[in-house]
Amino acid sequence: MLGESGRITFERYMELCLYHPEYGYYMQGRTRTGIEGDYFTSPDLHPIFARLIARQAAEMWEILGRPPQFTWVEMGAGRGLFAVDFLHWVRQSRSDFYDALAYCVVEPGPRQRARVVDRVSREFGGTRFQAIDSLERLDPVTGCFFSNELVDAFPVAVVARVAGRLKEIYVVADDGHLVEKPGPLSDSAVAVAVARYAKQLDPGHRMEVNRRAGQWISSVAAKLAQGFVLTIDYGNLAPFLYTAERPGGTLLAYTGHTASENFYDAPGEQDLTAHVNFSALIDSGMEAGLSFTGFTTQERFLMALGEANEFGDLYDPGQTETEKLQARLKLKRLIFPGESDGTRGMGNIFKVLLQHKAVETPSLTGLSTARR
């Protein structure tokens, strides 16, 4: 795994840990989310997440003039829960939109991709659904590219200010253990990113540079003929992300619903993740032809979509009062900030970025309460 010099960049180490064809965390087909996994995502909590986003998708279709085919591209589909909940709502609530809808999943892991195909096809068949391993296999579409907790899993370079100079973190073997060692920057693009978004990194402080995010959003822009890009993830704009309050950066390892900084204890057996620099996504998107639509929190986005019908999408027919109460508690976790009933709410931690292409000044309900 280590290069000829006996070291590799942390970015390369993280790439191998997560995406090695055989041993990578995301490639093994293991259960990553939910109670049996290592962390929860919004689709794991309740179908209301997908239902509200389906409402936003229907509005996008209308803004585009109701084209005969609207392609929804989900990148990183996990267990396929979002896809099933999304398609259920559209079929039941917007049959006109359902007739125009094509659903595409982009999932690099073959075992994970097969599970998603099986789950979705059992309920909806394959006539309007496809799963591919790479964006390269997709022809340009009219519709929306959607991701939830995808960009935070891209490999990142880690840099630190050491003795007044900017150094990159490398991984080396020492007496049978993997340890960190600072070294020269592997690419000038890393220094450019630090200068652009972190201004002056304080002595001893660390930060992550996600170069793959810019490459990814450029690929997405190239495959979008007309429509939108909807990105949901934890992170922030650069001025709020790279601050003195985060001297060690945002990198974390997750296993068994526990976060740690033990990045080298179990390569391939735990998730590695870093907060998303949304400023960089906006800038890279503009350079690739995507216009900025809006930026907000998950709380404001979901509230704006749900308030019109008083969150009527929250309940299923025939539910008991106890089941309805449980549904409300799950919604509370999705939209409330900070601590909520002993568990951390997602409302202000997760951010929502919307971009568009070949659409004239779109007005989306999900952004109606966004702060300008």
Distance CA(171)–CA(353), nearest Å, equals 33
Neighbours of 259 (CB within 10 A): 13
- Check residue 341 and give its pLDDT: 35
Domain count, the chain: 1
pLDDT of residue 342: 37
User: In which domain, by residue range, is 69 found?
Assistant: 38-155+209-246+271-367
Residue 161 has pLDDT above 80, yes or no: yes
What's the pTM? 0.92
- Is residue 314 a part of any domain in this protein? yes
Interval 69-117: pLDDT, tens: 999 999 998 889 999 999 999 999 999 999 999 999 999 888 888 889 8
Please, where are the H alpha helices in the chain?
Answer: 10-19, 42-45, 48-63, 81-93, 95-100, 110-124, 188-197, 211-223, 238-241, 278-287, 298-306, 321-335
Angle at 32 between CA 338 and CA 355, to 5 degrees: 60
* Spatial separation of the C-alpha atoms in residues 308 and 93, rounded to whole Å: 15
How far apart, in whole angstroms, are the C-alpha atoms of residue 303 and residue 147?
Answer: 19
Q: How many residues does the chain have?
A: 372
Q: Each residue of 229-239: pLDDT tens digit? A: 999 999 999 99
The answer to whether the Cα torsion of 282, 254, 79, 24 is positive or negative is positive
For the ranges 39-48, 206-215, 259-268, the maximum mean pLDDT occurs at 206-215
CB 210 within 8 A of CB 250: no
Residue 216 has pLDDT above 80, yes or no: yes
103, part of any domain: yes
Predicted pLDDT of residue 313: 85
At 24-37, the pLDDT tens digits run 998 887 776 666 66
Q: Which of 102-111, 193-202, 343-352 has the lowest mean pLDDT?
A: 343-352
**Which of 38-47, 245-254, 306-315 is least confident?**
38-47
Q: Would the pLDDT of 185 be above 70? A: yes
Q: What is the mean pLDDT of residues 258-262?
A: 88
Residue 371 has pLDDT above 70, yes or no: no
318 lies in some domain: yes
Mean of pLDDT values over 329-349: 67
The pLDDT of residue 28 is 80
- pLDDT score, position 96: 97
Q: How far is CA 332 from the centre of its chain?
A: 21
Q: Is 125 domain-assigned? A: yes
CATH number, domain containing residue 146: 3.40.50.12710
- For the chain, how many helices (H) and strands (E)? 12, 18
262 within domain boundaries: no
What pLDDT is attached to residue 257?
78
Report which of residues 58 and 312 the model is more confident about.
58
Which residues have a Cβ under 8 Å from the Cβ of 99 and sit 6 or more positions away? none
Residue 65 has what pLDDT? Answer: 98
Confidence label for 357 from pLDDT (cuts 50, 70 and 90): very high
Return the pLDDT at 6. Answer: 81
- Which single residue is written with the structure tokens 């508690």? 329
Q: Is the pLDDT of residue 348 over 90?
A: no
The contacts of residue 174 (CB under 8 Å, 6+ apart) are none
Q: Would 139 be classed as within a structural domain?
A: yes
pLDDT band at residue 328 under the 50/70/90 scheme: confident
How many CB atoms are located within 10 Å of the residue 11 CB? 25
Residue 213 CA, chain-centre distance (Å), reads 10
What is the Cα–Cα distance from 232 to 60, expressed in whole angstroms? 17
Give domain status of residue 88, yes or no: yes
Task: Tell whether 187 is covered by a domain.
Answer: no
* Residue whose tokens read 């992300």: 241
Residues 6+ apart with CB under 8 A from 172: 2, 6, 7, 178, 179, 180, 181
Higher pLDDT, 319 or 86: 86
The band of 123, judged by pLDDT with boundaries at 50, 70 and 90, is confident
Whether 124 shows a pLDDT value over 70: the answer reads: yes
